[in-house]
Chains A and B, each alone.
Chain A
């Protein structure tokens, strides 16, 4: 274990690869079973059963869906812009997954005398007994979220179809508007934590001092804006089956359609994980269970909340959506930032 490769011990590389694999498999499995859970939960909320036929209570449904989509015929519209049409699903999918690089899944664990932080882009200084992670972790997540819009816009434009273009335009306008309010909402968290590193933000929330209690307004606004940014109901205007025939993915089929679907669910998991990290204390919880358990439990609860919201609320109208973003959330977050600033300046010091 003492051999060095490029100045780092072998254990470092093993831990890194293991962390990436585990996180990736976790997100992929959650994506697969989130589709199942969504159908099941909404089914029961609407007094239906949901999928029942494939496996026990339909447990094999995601696999059946995946196989079906994989073997479907691949259709590229003849008037489509080929290059953009082909890369759009990838551009949608990749930012959704790589945001997980900076999210702390749990506290550091020691395996065979080597301490590993449960966060992909982090390492533990064995001599200094300290965790170093990306010191602009939150900005990294915001940057990746802002790239997600490309996938949808490109898909909408490249398909060369009216419905797709309208869906793409709507989503671009919606994502840009809500990104702003979401970004401003989390500024008040930075003001309290005095750091952009996600590890430090989680460490600050030890002992139940969650930022959701200190910043309830920021918490609620961030969660709603995130729902709008990832195009979930009640803000799923880019898709809007009833008026736009699925919007930006009208012309997509087979695996490319599946990729948009996976991107949507992966984005939902990312948003829930970020909300957990920033506002719900990350992996902190009663000590009788390990930290990663509490993290996953909180993330799954938020995912359930997303599905609950979908089963409950009808879709917003476009002008209502824009008014809510620019005239309600943006001023509220600005007031919140100023109030937090005054509080930090005069009361807490």
Chain B
């Protein structure tokens, strides 16, 4: 049951991510990307990580993609005339094949150690997914968390200064 469901969602994910790069209309590309994010969220749910799934949809599909679509709408980019750059296609395929080879190579080379980390499935079920993430974020990873928030604040202030002529 679960594997059939996985295969269906995976097929949708692959097809929609191919559509992202092949669609000629930028809005349709953006919509396909939203669909891909959705499929990723479904995978997170299947991996017992509902919090990740919810944030995936809220942050990526709900906020970032809306901004991208906003920009496309304002620039009024209609159907893009795609130039068939053969050099780019060849270079892109070469890099793609290289990365595929690299991934498969390292996967084949490594071996399963069978070592289990701290976060087992039982622990996630008993303590709770959100609780575990919260605890890790505010104790073990407090410094990176704070640094990220300061970075984001700096970005917001920077955007306001760049956009506003008179402050």
Contacts and interface: CB of A to CB of B under 8 A. Distances in A.
Interface stretch (B8-16, B57-65, B111-119, B141-149): B57-65
A60 B34 CA distance: 40
Q: Is the interface of A mostly helix, strand, loop or mixed?
A: helix
Given A83-B28, A147-B61, A153-B66, A135 B130 contact: yes
Pick the most buried of B53, B61, B62, B129: most chain A CB atoms within 10 A of its CB: B62
Contacts of B51: 136, 139
B70 A153 contact: yes
A196 B130 contact: yes
B81 to A, nearest CB: 16
Interface string B21-33: 0000101100100
Given A172-B66, A176-B63, A84 B54 contact: no
Contact of B129 (A135, A140, A149, A154): A135
B54 A136 contact: yes
Nearest to B38: A147
A30 interface: no
Nearest to B55: A139
B54 A147 contact: no
Given A136-B50, A136-B130, A172-B66, A142 B58 contact: yes
Interface in A123-179: 134-136, 139-140, 142-143, 146-147, 149-150, 153-154, 156-158, 165, 168-169, 172, 176, 179
Contact of B54 (A6, A142, A150, A172): A142
A172 B70 contact: yes
Nearest to B65: A150
B128 interface: yes
A139 B54 contact: yes
B73 interface: yes
A81 interface: yes
Contacts, number: 70
Contacts of A83: 25, 28
A92 to B, nearest CB: 14
A166 B158 CA distance: 28
B90 interface: no
Given A84-B28, A136-B54, A157 B128 contact: no
Interface string A78-106: 00010110010000000000000000000
B1 interface: yes
B40 interface: no
Nearest to A6: B1
Nearest to B70: A172
Interface string A241-279: 000000000000000000000000000000000000000
Contact of A146 (B61, B74, B128): B61
Nearest to A146: B62
A135 B66 contact: no
Given A146-B63, A150-B34, A134 B25 contact: no
A40 B96 CA distance: 63
A136 B53 CA distance: 10
Given A81-B25, A154-B31, 14 more contacts: A83-B25, A84-B28, A136-B53, A136-B54, A136-B129, A140-B54, A143-B54, A143-B57, A146-B57, A146-B66, A149-B66, A165-B73, A172-B66, A176-B63
6 contacts: A84-B31, A136-B53, A146-B61, A154-B69, A157-B69, A157-B73
